Chains A and B, each alone.
Chain A
Amino acid sequence: MTVLHAETLTVTSGQGTMVAPISLAIEPGQCVTLIGETGSGKSLFAQAILGTLSKDLSASGGLRIAGQDVALDDPQALAGLWGKVISVLPQEPWRALDPLMRARQQVAEVHALVTGQANPEAAAQADLAALDLDEAADRYPFELSGGMAQRLAIAAARAGGARIVVADEPTKGLDIARRDEVARRLKSVTRDGGALLTITHDLDLAEALGGEILVLRNGRLVERGPAAQVLRCPSESYTAELVAAQPRNWPDKPAAQAGAPVLTARGLSVARGGRRLIDGMDLSLRAGEVVGLCGPSGVGKSSLGDTLLGITAPAAGTVLRGAGLARERFQKLWQDPPAAFAPKLSLGRALKDLMSLHRIPADRLPPLLEKLRLEPALLDRRPDAVSGGELQRLSIVRALLLDPVLLFADEPTSRLDPLTQQQVMRLLTDLARTKGIAVLLVSHDPGLIAKATDRQIALSLETAPDEVASATGIGTGRRARS
C-alpha cells in the first residue's frame, strides 16, 4: 500500500505559482529525493505536505497518507499527523534540540505524551542505546558533539513511531565524514519498511540514498527518474550542469607558475580566547598559487588567516610581507558576503568611498565589473537587495581595486548554490593565474580543495577539542601535494 501519495500538488502565492503541479508516491521501503538550488521550490513542497507553509502561500491538489485523504488547506489536520504518522528530521539538529533539557528526556517525553508508553524512560534508554548514545543520556545538548546531536535528533524524531520520514537538508553544515553517517541512518529508515522523503542540494547524499530523484528548478519539475540514471546520465541539460558543478567533476585548472613569495611566516603561533591553536608554524605563500587550508572546525583556520593578514596579532613568531607590499594589498573574502558590507550603505557608495580613499581613478571600476559579469545597476542597491553570488563577486571587485597580492578566502562559497560556487571558484583560480595573486582558500569540501588548489596546508587537532588544542601546519614544500 502506498504510504504517501501526493497528486498534482501545487503551491501558489498572490504573485503566482511557486511550485508547479508535482505528483509522487512512496511505497514502504522506498525513498524519494527532491534536489534543486535555493528557490527551486523543493522546500516549499515539503512544507506543503507538513502544513508549515507561511500564511501568504497556499497548497492545492490531493494528499493521501496511509490510505487516508488529508486536506492540504487544513494545517491543524496536518499537524495532527506529526510524530505519529510523519516524522521530521530537522536541519541543523543541534539547534532543534531543547538546550535546557537532558538527552533522555527529549526522547522520553515523546514516549510519554505521544505514544503513551507505560515506561517512557526505559523506552527512551533503549532508543538511545540503539544509536550508541547510552552514555550521553544525562547530558545537555551543548555537551554533545555534532554527530551525537544528530543521532539524538533522529531518536527523538522517530520515537513517535511514524513510518513516513521527511528529512529537510539533513547534511547542511556537516563535514564529509558526518555526511556519510547521516546517509546510512536515513537508509535504515527504508530498510525497516518506512518511507523516506529527502530534500537536499547535496547530490552525493542523493546518490547514496538511491531511490527516485526529482530535479526542481524555479518551481518546476525538470527531470525525474532512478537516482543512478538521473545523476550518471542526465537527460536534461540543467541536471547535467548541476552534476558538472560538483567540485569533483570540475575541469582541471591551468598549471601553477608560482612566483616570488608575497608573505612569509616564521615560528608563527596563533591563539584565540586564551587558547593556543597553532604552535611554531613556518609557511610561505607565493604569487599566483592557490593554497588550500583544511582541517576540522575549531582548529584555527580562520584565526591563522586573520593573523597572516594582520587583523589579529600573532601569539609568537613573525609574519613578513614581501618587500614593498602595502598592507592594503592583503585582502580577505568572507563566508557570508552580506555580513562583509555596511548594511545601510549602497554598494556604489561603498566602492566610491574606497576609491577616493586610495585615489583610484574612476575608470578602473567599469572594466572590473564587466570582467566579473556584474551589472552596473547593482551598485545602486544595498547589500541585502543583491544575491549572495553577486555580492561575493562584488567583494572580489572591491579587493581587486586595491591590486591585491594575497586573497584570504574563508569558505567563500559555502553559502552559495553549486552553479554559483563553480563560477566564483573558477574566477578565483583565473585571477590567481592571470594577475599573480596568491589565494589562501579555506574549505570543508575535500572535492573542492582537490580541484581548486595547488597544494594544501592541513591543520589537525592533536588533542580533544575541548582541551588545549594545538595544531601543526606543514610549510612550503615539505608535505605539499599537487
Chain B
Amino acid sequence: MTGRLAGTVIFAAVLSFAFGLPLISGADPVSQSLMKSLQPPSADGWLGYDHLGRSMSARMAAALRLSLSIALVTLVTTALIGVALGALASWRGGWIDRALVLFADSVVALPALLIVLIAGLILPNQPLAFWAGLSATLWVEIFRLTRATIRSQIASPAVEAAQLLGFGPLYIFRTHLWPELAPVLRATLALTFAAVVMGIAALGFVSVGVRAPTPELGLMMVELLPYWREAPWALLQPVIATLATLLALTLIAGGAKA
C-alpha cells in the first residue's frame, strides 16, 4: 500500500514537471546557443545546457511530454481493445474465442519493438508509429487477463445465481466481473504504460526511434553519452527521469513488496 502511494507521488511529480514547466518557462527545447554549451545547472538554467547549448530543463520536459502522451494514448487504445475482445471471447466462447486466442497467440510471437520498427516504415511519423506498433502488440496481455478473469467468474455459482435471480448482463458485469477484473487490470495497465515508455526510449537509444532534434529520453542519452566525463549531470538527467517513471509505475503495479 505504501509502495503504491510512493509510486503515485513519484509519478505525479514526473507528470507535473513535464506538463507544468512550459507554463512557467518559455525556453525552447531546440534553440541552440553554443555559448552555453555544457553549462552546468545554475539559477538561470535549472538543469543546465547540453552540448549544443540547448536548455536541458526544456528538453527534459518536452521529452517526458512526448513519452507520457504517447503512453497515455496507447494505454487507452490497448485497454479498450483488450477488455472489449477479452469480454467478447469469454462471453461468446466457441470459435470466436478460439480465433481471437489464436490471433493473440500469433501477435505475441512478434517482438513489440519489431512491430514498431515496421510501423515506422509504413506510417508517416514516428509518434504515430509508436502508438500503432505498441497498441497492436500490448493489447494481448490485457486481452488474456480479461478473458481468463471473466471466464472463471462466469462459471462461478455467484454469477449463475445472479442470472437465475433475473439480473441482466450489465448488472452482472458491474457487481461480479468488474470488481475482480479492476485490481488485475490496474497492475497490468501500469506495466503496459511502463512498456511504452521503455520502448520509446530503447528505440531512441539505438537511433531508430524519434529523430533528432526532437527531444526524446533515449535519444538524449546517446547524444550526451560522449560528454559523460565533462557533464555527467547532463547524461544522468534522462537516465534518472526514465528510471523514476518506470519505478513509479512498477510500484503502482504492486510488483515491489519492499
Contacts and interface: CB of A to CB of B under 8 A. Distances in A.
Interface of A: 306, 309, 311, 327-328, 330-332, 334, 336, 339-345, 350, 353-354, 357-358, 395, 398, 402
Contacts of A311: 160, 163-164
B127 to A, nearest CB: 39
Q: Max chain A CB contacts within 10 Å: which of B164, B171, B176?
A: B164
Interface string B162-185: 111111000100011001000000
Nearest to B178: A344
Contact of A357 (B158, B166, B176, B179): B166
Contacts of A357: 165-167, 171
Nearest to A344: B179
Contacts of A339: 156-158
B229 to A, nearest CB: 55
A392 to B, nearest CB: 12
A330 B161 CA distance: 11
Contacts of A331: 164-165
A309 B164 CA distance: 8
A309 B161 CA distance: 11
Contact of B164 (A328, A345, A353): A328
Given A342-B176, A344-B179, A398 B165 contact: yes
Contact of A354 (B160, B163, B165, B179): B165
23 contacts: A309-B164, A311-B160, A330-B164, A334-B161, A339-B157, A340-B161, A341-B158, A341-B161, A342-B158, A342-B162, A342-B175, A342-B179, A344-B175, A344-B179, A353-B175, A354-B165, A354-B167, A357-B165, A357-B167, A357-B171, A358-B166, A395-B161, A398-B161
A166 to B, nearest CB: 34
Contact of A402 (B157, B163, B165, B171): B165
A330 B163 CA distance: 12
B185 to A, nearest CB: 15
Contacts of B175: 342, 344-345, 350, 353
A373 B2 CA distance: 43
A357 B167 CA distance: 8
A219 B23 CA distance: 69
- Dominant secondary structure of chain B at its interface with chain A: helix
Contacts of B157: 334, 336, 339-340
Nearest to B165: A354
Given A332-B164, A334-B161, 7 more contacts: A328-B165, A332-B161, A341-B158, A342-B158, A342-B176, A345-B175, A357-B171
Given A357-B166, A358-B166, A332 B160 contact: yes
A328 B168 CA distance: 13
B161 A343 contact: no
Interface in B190-247: none
B171 A353 contact: yes
Contact of A343 (B158, B165, B167, B171): B158
B98 to A, nearest CB: 15
Contacts of A334: 157, 161
B166 A328 contact: yes
Q: Which 3 A-B pairs have the closest CB atoms?
A: A340-B157, A334-B157, A344-B179
Contacts of B163: 311
A385 to B, nearest CB: 16
Interface in B65-122: none
A428 to B, nearest CB: 17
A328 B161 CA distance: 11
Nearest to A358: B166
Q: Max chain A CB contacts within 10 Å: which of B157, B171, B179?
A: B157
Contacts of B161: 332, 334, 340-341, 395, 398
B91 to A, nearest CB: 16
Contacts of A341: 158, 161
B167 A340 contact: no
A80 B166 CA distance: 57
A225 B39 CA distance: 92
Nearest to B177: A342
Interface in B136-171: 156-158, 160-167, 171
Contacts of B156: 339
Contacts of B166: 327-328, 357-358, 402
Contacts of B165: 328, 331, 354, 357, 398, 402
Contacts of A344: 175, 179
Nearest to A331: B164
Contacts of A345: 175
A19 B175 CA distance: 41
A340 B160 CA distance: 8
Nearest to B171: A353
A397 to B, nearest CB: 12
B218 to A, nearest CB: 42
A263 B131 CA distance: 57
A328 B164 CA distance: 6
Given A328-B164, A358-B166, A398-B165, A340 B158 contact: yes
Nearest to B179: A344
A354 B164 CA distance: 11
B172 to A, nearest CB: 9
A309 B179 CA distance: 27
A365 to B, nearest CB: 15
